Amino acid sequence: MRRRHERRLAKRIRCSKPGIWSVPHLLRKATHNSEGIGLLLRSIALDGSAGWYTRAQAARVLATVDANGVVRDLLRLFFTQTEKDELWETALTLESLGSRLAIPSLVKALYDNNPHRRHAAARALGWIPHAGRAAAIPLVKVLVDRSQPQPVREEAAESLAYLGYTRAAPALISVLDEPDVPIRFWAVFALGSLGRSIGASEHHKQVVVQALERMIEDAEVPPGNWWSVGREALAMLGALTPQYRPILETEIAAILKNPDAPPESRRWAESYS
């Protein structure tokens, strides 16, 4: 790494507030070992045993002087890894880094031969800030593609909740009748999120409300610490339209007062109270 980049990195680390990055010790280590700070940051960003949070902090510092390089290195690693956990950790590192430069390669990964790479890519695309249409349109295609593995489609449904692409609503509505409970659950969550998007028209909100209303009676619960699809639909409706707010509040209050309420109902009430 060029000397001026090293100086900029040293200044960034030296001037950082305690706790803002988990790598301030690198400056001392680099001096002691006569090793470049950039090389140390890169080694941490690519270290699968370091944990995605620490890796992302190192990548963010490095990106202040070489954004293209750190994204390129992380993507190169992402496409050489094969195991589910390691791919997931690198995807979380990429999304936390938050660079749109990673989007085209992650979109390509949605059709990779490795299903774990597809799954991790679908996750990262939803969480990169301001990914917008560039990520949403490919995720819509994945969502409605029944040849895709179910975990990938489920992840695509959730990711669409964060991208503000209101044109995803018809695709999300189209999967509400599928037998896969997580797909229905995350499609409901995404529809509620898109109904509250800044760009949502009144017509769009009405279409979303009607779709969510027919899901209220869906009592199935997806795996994990979640609640029924119907309760998620009610929570989304309570946030979208005034007529459902008192219904939501009454239901939450009744559950919180009931010591015998099922655990999934209590989790729901505590989450939305």
Q: What is the pLDDT of residues 193-236, one digit of tens each?
A: 998 886 668 888 899 999 999 999 999 999 999 999 999 999 99
What pLDDT digit, counting tens, does each position of 173-194 carry? 999 999 999 999 999 999 999 9
What pLDDT digit, counting tens, does each position of 133-161 carry? 999 999 999 999 999 999 999 999 999 99
pLDDT confidence of residue 21: 47
Most confident of 35-49, 164-178, 198-212: 164-178
Q: Is residue 40 domain-resident? A: no
Per the document, the length of the chain is 273
User: Is the four-CA dihedral 27, 31, 37, 39 of positive or negative sign?
Assistant: negative
What is the rounded CA–CA span in Å between residue 106 and residue 118? 8
Contacts of 14 (CB under 8 A, 6+ apart): 27
pLDDT confidence of residue 33: 47
What is the rounded CA–CA span in Å between residue 212 and residue 227? 16
Q: Is residue 169 domain-resident? A: yes
Q: Is residue 134 domain-resident? A: no
What is the rounded CA–CA span in Å between residue 22 and residue 30? 15
What pLDDT digit, counting tens, does each position of 241-254 carry? 999 999 999 999 99
What is the rounded CA–CA span in Å between residue 213 and residue 202? 16
Q: Is residue 125 domain-resident? A: no
What is the rounded CA–CA span in Å between residue 195 and residue 113? 34
- Side-chain half-sphere of 78: how many Cα atoms within 13 Å? 32
What pLDDT digit, counting tens, does each position of 13-25 carry? 555 554 444 455 5
Q: Is residue 171 domain-resident? A: yes
- Contact 158/190 with Cβ under 8 angstroms? yes
Structural domain span for residue 204: 163-273
Taking 80 as the threshold, does the pLDDT of residue 113 lie above it?
yes
Burial 146-172 (b: 16+ CB within 10 A, else e): eebeebbbbbbbbbbbbbbbbebbebb
What is the rounded CA–CA span in Å between residue 174 and residue 160? 14
Contacts of 53 (CB under 8 A, 6+ apart): 22, 96
Q: Is residue 256 domain-resident? A: yes
Taking 80 as the threshold, does the pLDDT of residue 5 lie above it?
no
Q: How many domains does the chain have?
A: 1
Q: Is residue 18 domain-resident? A: no
Q: Is residue 80 domain-resident? A: no
